[in-house]
Structure 1
Amino acid sequence: MPEHPSSSVRQAREALAARLRELRLDAGISGRELAARCGWHESKTSRVENARTAPSDADIRAWCAACGTPEHGPDLVAANRQSAGAHVEWRRLQRTGLRRLQESGAALYGQTVLFRVYCSDVVPGFFQTPGYATALLSSIATFRGTPDDVSEAVAARMERNRVIREGNHRLSIVLEESVLRHRVADTETMAAQLGHLLTVMALPSVALGIIPFDAERTVWPMATFTVFDDERVHVDTLDAAHTLTQPSQAELYVRAFGRLAGSAVRGAAARRVIGNALTSLEHR
């Protein structure tokens, strides 16, 4: 059974409290001494360390400074801010339909300059044709039991995807070869989708790489994720959408993306991989 969001929030807060306590212990100071350095009552230190009181951003910065480790402040502040929204179940996000979910991301997409996207399951939304998006979102709506607004959701996705042709956006995309082979839709729709990939990879804003089945890897296949301007990461799993904003988390995913991109082929070699997937459609 998927973990309830409130449980995830509680665990995130407890993890933050434990990290703060570790900083104090590593600094070799008592709770009373830390309180004195921060200018608050010692009971507050205990409440924070036992996750009974959620610290403010200022509290965290003061705590880190009191422990002589101000460099930990940005990560812990980000962890504190994301604890309530880092894990949101898909059923909550999708309960009002798929159209609003597509529209909700429009502002973030519009303000992002550099997208780093790794896909191990389906063609990324940026590059989906209306037919492919319809087949994919229909299967999601059926599986989730959400309101049937697939046509409106597809239109919203196509509108959102204008970022690949407008403004100063840049997209660095890495796909596993398996993405090209997964039969998300019928043969005609899949062929159109693969043909569309050949078209969009020629856009000046797009850098598309494909990791062939036989590529020598330095990092394993993982869940699909998107990095927005090196500051925010979205990771999709079956039960939830995860938003990561801690600098160390973003750096980890940027580093993973770099390793994955290093295994990818590009240009003519990538077009050959797509062409092989098209050929396989014709022989089935």
Structure 2
Amino acid sequence: MTLHPEQMGQSKQDLAAMLKDVRKRAGLSGDRLAKRCNMSQSKISRIENGKVLASIIDVERILRATDAPQELIDEATALARTAHTEWQDLRSLRRRGLHQKQQELAGLESSSSEFRYFLLSMITGLLSTPEYIKASLSHLQGDQSRLITKKLDRQEILYDTTKKFTFLLSELAVKWPLVPAPAMAMQLDRLVSVSRLPNVKLGVVPARGHIPVAPMDTFTIYDTTLTTVETTAGILVLRDSRDVAAHLELFSVMERHALLGDDARTFLRECADAARDL
């Protein structure tokens, strides 16, 4: 079953309707199905009414409890995966106004307690100097001052000690010359400074030795419930627990290969000094 990004929102309603239809075709009441699945009847009702998005595991339990054929199980599972995935294309985000995206991110940060960032080729806004943020937005037309202000305002969350942050930067992200050398040195100095916050762990994954995996994108994990993946064309939002778990495992591997603490700060200071020498 192939679904395109524009169908992702509709798939949530389609999944609810499919599960309700399957139950009725099996001649089961909501209460009987709930007992077979070891769920509450109220949860079955909320799933079928679209008030609760069924997890992929929930979908499999429901369909097997109704003796659904494997073809239907495969179709519904694919639909569930799509329902747990949101695609935000960059063109649409620009039309809405990218400052709106900053408000959405601030909401995610407010409602989450632990954050894991893997930064493949650029430094994230939470760690960026104003000059770096401005340079990262230079390809956009018009006045970006409002967006820059929103990004800088979000940095306050770093000083909330009830939140825990882990940032892993590839060596490419550290060294990519997005701004002139003097500004890049200042940016690296900021990384060293932020790394000393008590609730922040900052690591650098050096391009040496043997690293058995190769992440393809920048991604952020919020607690253990949601992952966002940034691409050139837009952002994927993944809520399926298996997708989140896969990114947690990838993050763990990268963390084991990262320079951390004083080792990371030494590496960053050396890069900053090299930029100043330019």
Q: Report the TM-score, using the length of structure 1 for normalisation.
A: 0.74
What is the CA-CA distance between 1:101 and the residue it aligns to? 2.0
Alignment partners' CA distance in 2, 1:108 and 1:159: 14
Q: What is the DSSP-based 3-state SS (H/G/I as helix, E as strand, rest coil) of the residue aligned with 2:178?
A: coil
Q: What is the DSSP-based 3-state SS (H/G/I as helix, E as strand, rest coil) of the residue aligned with 1:94?
A: helix
**Kindly, what percent of the aligned residue pairs are identical?**
23
Q: What is the DSSP-based 3-state SS (H/G/I as helix, E as strand, rest coil) of the residue aligned with 2:166?
A: strand
- Deviations 1:53-78 (Å, cap 9, x if unpaired)? x9955794632432499xx9xx8796
Alpha carbons of 1:67 and 1:124: their partners in 2 closer, same or farther (altered >3 Å)?
Answer: farther
Alpha carbons of 1:225 and 1:262: their partners in 2 closer, same or farther (altered >3 Å)?
Answer: same
Picking from 223, 227, 232, the partner of 1:233 is 227
Deviates more, 1:129-138 or 1:227-236: 129-138
Which residue does 2:43 correspond to in 1? none
Q: What is the DSSP-based 3-state SS (H/G/I as helix, E as strand, rest coil) of the residue aligned with 2:95?
A: coil
Q: What is the DSSP-based 3-state SS (H/G/I as helix, E as strand, rest coil) of the residue aligned with 1:210?
A: strand
Which residue does 1:191 correspond to in 2? 185
- Deviations 1:91-124 (Å, cap 9, x if unpaired)? 1012133322212221111111000110011112
What is the CA-CA distance between 1:262 and the residue it aligns to? 0.8
- Deviations 1:141-176 (Å, cap 9, x if unpaired)? 14xxxxx24111111111112111025110011110
Which residue does 2:251 correspond to in 1? 257
- Whether the 8 Å contact between 1:177 and 1:273 is mirrored in structure 2 is no
Alignment partners' CA distance in 2, 1:202 and 1:128: 15
How much is the aligned-residue C-alpha RMSD, in angstroms? 3.6
Alignment partners' CA distance in 2, 1:67 and 1:261: 43
Alpha carbons of 1:103 and 1:67: their partners in 2 closer, same or farther (altered >3 Å)?
Answer: same
Which residue does 1:82 correspond to in 2? 84
**Equivalent runs, 1:1-284 vs 2, <5 Å:** 7-10=4-7, 35-38=25-28, 56=50, 57=53, 60=59, 62-67=62-67, 79=81, 81-83=83-85, 86-139=86-139, 141-142=140-141, 148-284=142-278
- Whether the 8 Å contact between 1:177 and 1:213 is mirrored in structure 2 is yes
Alignment partners' CA distance in 1, 2:97 and 2:178: 21
Alignment partners' CA distance in 2, 1:165 and 1:102: 18
Q: Report the TM-score, using the length of structure 2 for normalisation.
A: 0.76
What is the CA-CA distance between 1:89 and the residue it aligns to? 0.8
- Whether the 8 Å contact between 1:97 and 1:149 is mirrored in structure 2 is no
Aligned residues: 245
What is the CA-CA distance between 1:185 and the residue it aligns to? 1.0
Alpha carbons of 1:158 and 1:91: their partners in 2 closer, same or farther (altered >3 Å)?
Answer: same
- Deviations 1:25-76 (Å, cap 9, x if unpaired)? xxxxxx9998225459xxxxxxxxxxxxx9955794632432499xx9xx87
Q: Which amino acid aligns with 2:158?
A: I
Alpha carbons of 1:10 and 1:77: their partners in 2 closer, same or farther (altered >3 Å)?
Answer: closer
- Deviations 1:119-140 (Å, cap 9, x if unpaired)? 011112211111111111223x
Q: What is the DSSP-based 3-state SS (H/G/I as helix, E as strand, rest coil) of the residue aligned with 2:211?
A: coil
Alpha carbons of 1:270 and 1:198: their partners in 2 closer, same or farther (altered >3 Å)?
Answer: same
Q: What is the DSSP-based 3-state SS (H/G/I as helix, E as strand, rest coil) of the residue aligned with 2:259?
A: coil
